[in-house]
Amino acid sequence: MKRSPKPAATVADLVEAMETVAPANLAQPWDNTGLLAGDPSAACRRILLCIDLTPPVLAEAMAGACDLVVAYHPLLFKPVSRLSAGAEGPESILFRAVAADLAVYCPHTALDAAPGGTNDVLAGMCGLTEVEPFEYTATGPGQSKVVTFVPHEQADRVAAAMFAAGAGRIGDYAMCSYRLRGRGTFFGMAGTDPRVGRKGRLEQVEETRLEVVTPDSRLPEVINALFSAHPYEEPAYDIYPLRPPPGFGIGRVGMLPAGTTLAGLARRLRRACGNSRVEIVGRPDTAVRRAAVCAGSAGRLPFEKPRSADCDVVVTGEMRHHDALALLRNGRSAVLLGHWESERPVLPVLAERLRAALRGVRVAVSRKDASPFARP
């Protein structure tokens, strides 16, 4: 009996690749990113990229024998009570995808915030320099600092136990700790059995404050090691969640080439996007020097953030009428590319990165993906 050849890649491999390209912890709290449907162990030989998984895109994926669709916009944002082919909303599309063994992955705001993602591509099309996010994303704690207090002569023993359990690693350095000498006090009440001093009186002990960094995944083991090695009946300890330094975030802000006008920027972006029409808010001959970029829809957000409050122009997909009026009242301007049109340029870039990460997997950009707005 012949065994089926092992697939070149699996859905789990695509998820891992997307975690490298656009880590899920960069997504906004309200977003629904990641693998929305599919078996992580299933084979993944063909991938189709799109902005929206619409019925025509789904038909294209099925006709092309794709195993997975990376759809920039999530199909679902809120919990659903049922999936059925006859549903009126996007649940019906997801049902058909699942029925066809087609996995669906959605990166959305994680890709917006990621380096080289949606907003970096758009910033590059503008020719921006000195580029940075206009609001950094808090990625949450990945490690913690554990602090305990131990008599001087037992500090090495307790530290060694915590190191052995996984604490004290900083980059390529192991057994890292910080120690500070001080004095601790305690009063053992009835029912205690202190290992240092006696109950019923105030004791003072010369102690070392011992600090070690610990991956959150190893916290239970490290705390157990602390208790096992510590000489006290009730060791005192603290856990401080640590947050990595900000590096990525929402939107982009940067400097435009000298001499750029609003009309000139609009023409440049129209050519880069291949748009037949780009709208502007403001006088065409307005000189613009500092720009905020936010794919999709920005509204007033860039002008409310400290790093982009002084920008002359915002480049985005769409804007509400009253937000555009507010810009004009404050002497600001905007270039509106269309929601879908401002996000679509990231797909070829994402395709190249996935091809490099997933050797042997065919990655294509959908030809049926289109803006819901048509121009006569």
pLDDT digits (tens, 9 = 90+) for 146-178: 999 999 999 999 999 999 999 999 989 999 999
CB-based contacts of 124: which residues, under 8 Å, 6+ apart? Answer: none
> Which token pair is 268?
């440049």
- For residues 244-268, give the mean pLDDT: 91
pLDDT for the residue numbered 179: 97
pLDDT for the residue numbered 85: 76
- For residues 61-68, give the mean pLDDT: 96
pLDDT at 1 over 60: no
Residue 196: pLDDT band with limits 50, 70, 90: confident
Q: Which of 22-26, 134-138, 243-247 has the lowest mean pLDDT?
A: 243-247
**Beta bridge partners of residue 143, listed in sequence order:** 215, 242
DSSP 26: G
Domain spans of the chain? 11-112+345-365, 118-137+249-336, 143-242
Asked whether this chain's domains 11-112+345-365 and 143-242 adopt the same fold, the reply is no
Which among 303, 296, 289 has a CA at the least distance from the CA of 130? 289
pLDDT digits (tens, 9 = 90+) for 289-334: 999 999 999 877 787 888 888 999 999 999 999 999 999 999 999 9
pLDDT for the residue numbered 302: 80
Mean pLDDT for all residues in the chain: 91
pLDDT at 83 over 60: yes
pLDDT at 84 over 80: no
Residue 376: pLDDT band with limits 50, 70, 90: low
In the block, tokens 């009570």 appear at 81
| Domain 11-112+345-365 homologous superfamily, CATH | NIF3 (NGG1p interacting factor 3)-like (3.40.1390.30)
- For residues 178-182, give the mean pLDDT: 96
**Beta bridge partners of residue 48, listed in sequence order:** 69, 364
Query: What is the fold of 143-242?
Result: Alpha-Beta Plaits (3.30.70)
- For residues 13-20, give the mean pLDDT: 95
Query: Which of 4-13, 115-124, 185-194 is predicted most confidently?
Result: 115-124
Helix 219-229, helix 155-164: angle, nearest 10: 150
Residue 2: pLDDT band with limits 50, 70, 90: very low
pLDDT digits (tens, 9 = 90+) for 101-121: 999 999 999 999 999 999 999
pLDDT for the residue numbered 120: 97
* CATH class for the region spanning 118-137+249-336: alpha beta
Which uninterrupted H or E stretch holds 110? helix 109-113
* Position with higher pLDDT, 240 vs 87: 240
